[in-house]
Structure 1
Amino acid sequence: MLKKEDNEKLCKTNAGTPMGEVFRRYWIPAMLAEEVSEPDCPPIKLKLLGEELVAFRDSEGKVAILDAYCPHRRAHLFWGRNEECGLRCVYHGWKFNRDGNCVDMPNEPDDSKFKHKVQQTTYPTWEKSGIVWTYMGPRDKQPGNPDYEWLRAPKTHFQVSKTYEGCNWLQALEGGIDTSHSSFAHNNNIQDKKSLRSRATNPKLEVDKTEYGFRYVGIRDLKEDGNYIRAYQFIMPSQQMRGQMMKWHDGSLEDFPTIRGHIWVPIDDESVWVWNFKYTSEPSIPLDPEFSLQQEILFGRGPDDVLPGYRLKRNPSNDYLIDREVQRTKTFTGIEGVNTQDYALQETMEKPYPDRTKERLGTADLAIIAARQMLLEATKHVENDKQPKGTDPATYRNVRACDAFLPKGVDWREGLKDNMTAKYKSPALAVGSSTSSKS
């Protein structure tokens, strides 16, 4: 169980809260590049860590993120005109460039110097792999740009998407790093007693803490067939990576190593953006488009599964379209979509977040316990003006996840050493600038 004060400390992420200040020490995904697809396109509304923001791509193709409300009379800048390297408020014409400088104030006298005294809050951006990243913390603490292995995979080897989830970020993350629930919530063929999920429902967890977070494994004992080991990475503050041996080929799924993962970014204390990425673990092999599509459908994120605003068609308003007959005869939940099954369980927990003082955790929850410990440690580091773990790209740039079969008696740390070492080479990265860049 978790103390009430620690539960609140972990769940709340607005500015000035302990966990909110932790998130503000990292680069976080802000939006998909497609949301601001071209120079001078319409601005978009954005909310991150409880802050109302507006984003636009200026005439030079660079993305800006600003406080959503004009400092004049607090009109929302979403209504603004994106023109000539700036966003102009339509209430009185005040215009702001991507650095937040007021560059025009047409309702003031021509000789007025007032505009030079007005500065709008703005956050640095960095564009990579179809994602616009932002840093919302103190500028003197800004770390180098992210260097996760999956960001180094070329477009032909990589895919990213995002979906909205209506719950606190922590219960979404904890659902992601929980490995034993896949034998139940994600058992989509309850008649198949030979599947990995059915053969070993109680994986043994082992956790190793690191300078970037921790790595952990779920070891499933398959008796005479050895051990099936799924090795994960948890990268602070909210990223998980995992291996998955599947490939779509000639109409059927075949074994083929792919690395997948999520980043959970709080919108506010009751909603979160779930970023989904996958890439091939072999630099010589591109991602099969048909495989990628079928996987998105399997996870509940296919073209017919997502509504405008990156929200799932199956949601609390329609009980996730649960089919009780399918639940009785075919799948454990009766809900389509692997991640949709997660959402159904996570979005319907207590609001605004679960009362963790009433929990009873077991050995299957070691990764969740470790994550809470590291996140609470991070709040102490920030309170003491120290950088939390995982802000330095050097600590995580060479790690990856995997899954594999190992003979009995072989320690995964040694047996999977090469599988858990990045293969996509890392370039030298400079510290992010205060203006946006694209690569």
Structure 2
Amino acid sequence: MLSASDNAILTQVGPDKPMGKLMRQFWIPVCLSSELTADAEPLRIMLLGEKLIAFRDTAGKVGVMDHRCPHRCASMYFGRNEQGGVRCVYHGWKFDVEGNCIDMPNVPPEQDFKHRVKARAFKVLERSGMVWAYMGPRDTPPEFPNIDALQIPAAERSIFVHQRDCNWLQSAEGDIDTSHFGFLHIGSLEADDVDPDSMHKWGIIGRAPEYSVKETPWGTMYAAYRAADEGERYYRFAHFLFPFITFTPNGDFDDLIACTINVPMDDEHTMSYRVAWNKRTMPLQNLKSGEPIPGLAPESDFLPRTHDWYGRWRLAANVDNDYFIDRDAQRTISFTGIQGIGRQDQAVIESMGAVVDRTFEHLAASDRMIMVTRRRLLQAARALDANNETPAIVDDPDAYRGARGGSFLASDKLDWVAAYEQKLGEAVRMPAQPEPQSV
């Protein structure tokens, strides 16, 4: 059971909160690069509890700044994005992507003081098809994290984005909870239903695995493992990476290059980015007959976009329509009656409430990864808040290379960490893929 005070530390992300301060030490995804067009209207962004705008200027550079004009606090969302900057429609003051005031047209030239006025703007770069901002205190931001999934060439990369009406930690903990897969997603399957040559059948045969968990330089990792054929174990590895990235185990370890980024919009809303290598294998998609596994086909219909702070990437299946649950399908072919892995996840984590009351929980051995990850986050947030101690990973971006999610078979004579390191050395890796960036 987690105390109410610890739960507050873990879930509150404002600039004056311990977790909010911790997250601001890292590069934070703002939006997809494709959402911004040169000289087009600004985009409203809610990020870590702050109301911002993002825009692309005439030259293609991106700006991310507080939505309030430094003059009289009118919203720059209504601004004119034109000729190298965004101009406030209230009095015409204009700001470039770095927040510099470059025009003050309602003030006589001899009284102009634009060189002393600056909008609160953030350092920005574009990587992996996304805009990233550094919202922390350093004059020079840390290096960008060296994560395989964030080095995928554009032609081989897929990104799925959707908003979740819940706290970021609920979203992240759903990713690192392995035992729910055998119930929520494939609870209706039996081992005889799938390809007998697939190693993933062992996840159906044994729905209550053993667990090993450890802290790592990048955060935490676990192995869920079951006995397989004689002399072998079936492993599923997953990771939590600071500040809110997860690697899930749902794929072959050799080529599963993917991550999920659970970006807090505020304490009660999360923007989830799933970045993946589209050339990887896709296990457990079909029954041995070749027919699709009932309930797993992806579904990604979105509501029409609106211009409010929460108007982007909202799924059509949501709490208001019970995620289109089909009770007949639940009784006959689908464990949940809800279509799609992502929608199934969304239904259960949003059903907990916007911010789950963790004092109500009764955790089990299957929740060890969640326990250790919470402890790691609390330690890091407190160390920064009390002693200004930054996690070492902030300044060691290559340490992320030690993390890899996925499943494999290994000898039962090997220790779980030794089995992992052996497979890590054999896995496909992404070379660095430098992309155009603006800072």
Residue 163 of structure 1 aligns to a residue in which SS? Answer: strand
Gaps of 5+ in 2: 194-200, 286-291, 306-311
CA distance in 2, matches of 1:183, 1:131: 33
After superposition, residues 107-186 of structure 1 pair within 5 angstroms as 107-140=106-139, 142-186=141-185
The aligned residue for residue 276 of structure 1 is: 274
After superposition, residues 50-61 of structure 1 pair within 5 angstroms as 50-61=49-60
Q: Structure 1 199/173 Cα, relative in aligned 2: closer, same or farther at 3 Å?
A: same
Segment drifting more, 16-25 vs 396-405 = 396-405
Post-superposition offset of 1:181: 0.6
Give per-residue Cα distances to partners, 1:374-400, cap 9 Å, x unaligned: 100111221211112431202213432
Does residue 409 in structure 1 map to residue 408 in structure 2? no
Asked if structure 2 preserves the Cα contact closer than 8 Å seen for 1:279 and 1:287, the reply is no
Asked if structure 1 preserves the Cα contact closer than 8 Å seen for 2:145 and 2:400, the reply is no
Post-superposition offset of 1:222: 3.4
Does residue 211 in structure 1 map to residue 217 in structure 2? yes
CA distance in 1, matches of 2:111, 2:14: 36
The aligned residue for residue 266 of structure 1 is: 264
The aligned residue for residue 309 of structure 2 is: none
Post-superposition offset of 1:243: 4.3
Asked if structure 1 preserves the Cα contact closer than 8 Å seen for 2:149 and 2:259, the reply is no
Give per-residue Cα distances to partners, 1:122-168, cap 9 Å, x unaligned: 01111111011111110247311222111222223321221100001
Asked if structure 2 preserves the Cα contact closer than 8 Å seen for 1:147 and 1:426, the reply is no
Segment drifting more, 64-73 vs 136-145 = 136-145
How many residues are aligned here? Answer: 414
Post-superposition offset of 1:301: 4.5
CA distance in 1, matches of 2:120, 2:72: 15
Post-superposition offset of 1:425: 5.4
After superposition, residues 70-89 of structure 1 pair within 5 angstroms as 70-89=69-88
Structure 2 counterpart of 1:338, from 341, 344, 365 = 341
Asked if structure 2 preserves the Cα contact closer than 8 Å seen for 1:242 and 1:259, the reply is no
The aligned residue for residue 370 of structure 1 is: 372
> Which AA in structure 1 matches 2:97?
R
CA distance in 1, matches of 2:232, 2:156: 31
CA distance in 2, matches of 1:306, 1:202: 37
The aligned residue for residue 29 of structure 2 is: 29
The aligned residue for residue 327 of structure 1 is: 330
Residue 416 of structure 1 aligns to a residue in which SS? Answer: helix
The aligned residue for residue 3 of structure 2 is: 3
Q: Structure 1 164/299 Cα, relative in aligned 2: closer, same or farther at 3 Å?
A: farther
Q: Structure 1 389/339 Cα, relative in aligned 2: closer, same or farther at 3 Å?
A: farther
Asked if structure 1 preserves the Cα contact closer than 8 Å seen for 2:145 and 2:398, the reply is no
Gaps of 5+ in 1: 247-254
Segment drifting more, 69-78 vs 23-32 = 69-78
> Which AA in structure 1 matches 2:218?
Y
CA distance in 2, matches of 1:28, 1:210: 21
CA distance in 1, matches of 2:388, 2:433: 27
CA distance in 2, matches of 1:24, 1:190: 43
Give per-residue Cα distances to partners, 1:302-329, cap 9 Å, x unaligned: 4x45653211111001000000111111
Post-superposition offset of 1:92: 1.2
> Which AA in structure 1 matches 2:340?
G
Give per-residue Cα distances to partners, 1:74-117, cap 9 Å, x unaligned: 21111111111100011111100111111111111122232222
CA distance in 1, matches of 2:139, 2:41: 32
Post-superposition offset of 1:241: 1.2
> Which AA in structure 1 matches 2:429?
Y
CA distance in 1, matches of 2:362, 2:280: 44
Structure 2 counterpart of 1:347, from 350, 367, 383 = 350
CA distance in 1, matches of 2:109, 2:281: 57
The aligned residue for residue 199 of structure 1 is: 205
Asked if structure 1 preserves the Cα contact closer than 8 Å seen for 2:393 and 2:399, the reply is yes
CA distance in 1, matches of 2:304, 2:209: 36
Q: Structure 1 305/111 Cα, relative in aligned 2: closer, same or farther at 3 Å?
A: closer
Q: Structure 1 227/307 Cα, relative in aligned 2: closer, same or farther at 3 Å?
A: farther
The aligned residue for residue 244 of structure 2 is: 238
Q: Structure 1 324/372 Cα, relative in aligned 2: closer, same or farther at 3 Å?
A: same
Asked if structure 1 preserves the Cα contact closer than 8 Å seen for 2:162 and 2:314, the reply is yes
Q: Structure 1 425/262 Cα, relative in aligned 2: closer, same or farther at 3 Å?
A: closer
Residue 277 of structure 1 aligns to a residue in which SS? Answer: strand
CA distance in 1, matches of 2:422, 2:410: 13
The aligned residue for residue 399 of structure 1 is: 403
> Which AA in structure 1 matches 2:185?
H
User: What is the RMSD of the two structures over their aligned residues, measured on CA atoms?
Assistant: 2.7
CA distance in 2, matches of 1:427, 1:369: 34
The aligned residue for residue 98 of structure 1 is: 97
Residue 312 of structure 1 aligns to a residue in which SS? Answer: coil
CA distance in 1, matches of 2:365, 2:190: 27
Q: Structure 1 215/196 Cα, relative in aligned 2: closer, same or farther at 3 Å?
A: same
CA distance in 2, matches of 1:301, 1:125: 32
Asked if structure 2 preserves the Cα contact closer than 8 Å seen for 1:169 and 1:270, the reply is yes
Post-superposition offset of 1:4: 1.1
CA distance in 2, matches of 1:214, 1:141: 27
Q: TM-score, normalised by structure 1?
A: 0.87
> Which AA in structure 1 matches 2:232?
G
Identical counterparts, % of pairs: 37
Residue 390 of structure 1 aligns to a residue in which SS? Answer: helix
Residue 417 of structure 2 aligns to a residue in which SS? Answer: helix
